[in-house]
Amino acid sequence: MGPDIDFPFSDLPIEIILTICKDAAQPTFSQREKYDIKNPYSTALSLCLVSRLVRRIILPDFLHTILLRRHHSLKKFANALLMQKAYAEKESDFFFDYTSAIQRMWISNAFDYFVYAEPRPPNNARFILFMAHFFSSKTDELRRNISVLLPVILAATELAVDRRHLRLVMRSVQDAWSSRTDLNVGGHSSFPGKTKNLTIIREGDDLDTWTGQNPDFFSDEIKESVFLASIPHLTHLIDLAEESNTFRGISHGVHSPGNSLFFWRKDTTWAYMKSLETLSVVYPHLPPLHDLKSISYAAYATRGIDLHVERLTVSAALYKQDPDSFPWGPPWFPVTDPGNKRIQSDGVSFEVTRDKTYCSQYFCSWEKAWACGLTDG
């Protein structure tokens, strides 16, 4: 055995060093890691401090998928964009065009109180009053921050957002579109939004109860929304706590998807999306209740468990022709093995993910699975 060779990292060619930094900066959205202990962006943030060259090399991958999932996250990101605007005005080397890098964005803090996997807050009058006051006091600030984020939001091809933030996005887009400001379109008449898949996080609907808002209160805005009218694909992420058991029977041929997807028919959002081609719902693959060998329901409800995920997709054009008589079957979808997809000629497809997702009925949101591409299919 020869002597140990001391080969300093700094002696590597610059191309190799930058490649290593670029790979190390890739955010990992592990289902197992607690983001509040290990921020998925922490390595990239540290590497941004190494040098301006390293920062410029890693920013595109760093910014590809952005998760704004805490009350303070959206404000901090808005401040970062304002800082970039200041850099641009000063022609600083630190300027970087975020809109060219960001492809996917998650905006929802509905589960901010689940940081340490605490139980759902009680549904009592005192708590609802507190939450109504809290969100009311934050609305003006949220509107300002959303307006700052607007160019980035419109440049993202994938947007996941709860209904409360979606309404703010719709309002901001409509105001900007009316005056053609902050959209970088000048005198052009075509809407510049690039969003291909809008994912609505149904967990955010709980905020309607806390704030006393009716989900249909914004129906007129929905009808007029140029933002919604431009989107071809809509996906629902169900509320795991309230709706996951409802979907168990679909994949086992017990229930028709049409019965379990009643909320689609009463949801006014997608009905006015003029460019809509498909609408999908994503939910956990739950076996029959009596099948205790394959899953512990106590673990699913409390600690979490690895589960395959099902995705049901419907042709919006065919569904709109006659919603009451839409051909969901028969026979309804038989049991589908993981990694397989079934497509019916009448505009319905059903698939089960090949890989499992870590789901907890009461302590989990979808953002980690979404960041890994859960709704991209």
Confidence check: pLDDT of 25 > 90: no
Residue 269 has, within 13 A of its CA and on its CB side, a CA count of 24
The pLDDT tens digits for 233-268 are 999 888 887 787 778 777 676 777 777 776 666 666
The pLDDT tens digits for 142-174 are 889 999 999 999 999 999 998 888 989 998 998
Query: How many Cβ atoms from other residues are within 10 Å of residue 316's Cβ?
Result: 20
Confidence check: pLDDT of 107 > 80: yes
Confidence check: pLDDT of 13 > 90: no
pLDDT of residue 147: 92
- Pairing outcome for strands 65-68 and 278-284: unpaired
pTM: 0.82
What are the start-end ranges of the H helices in the chain? 14-24, 42-47, 52-62, 73-89, 125-155, 163-179, 206-211, 219-224, 226-229, 240-243, 257-260, 262-266, 268-271, 297-301, 316-321, 367-371
pLDDT of residue 155: 93
pLDDT of residue 44: 78
CA distances from 132 to 24, 31, 169, 244, 249 (A): 42, 32, 20, 27, 36
Specify the range with the lowest mean pLDDT, choosing from 34-38, 46-50, 57-61.
34-38
The mean pLDDT value of the chain amounts to: 76
Domain map (residue ranges) of the chain: 11-62, 65-371
pLDDT band at 366 (very low <50, low <70, confident <90, very high): confident
The pLDDT tens digits for 110-136 are 656 444 344 444 455 555 555 555 555
Tell me if 155 sits within 8 A of 104, measured CB to CB: no
The pLDDT tens digits for 178-236 are 877 555 544 556 788 899 999 998 764 444 544 444 445 456 667 788 899 999 999 98
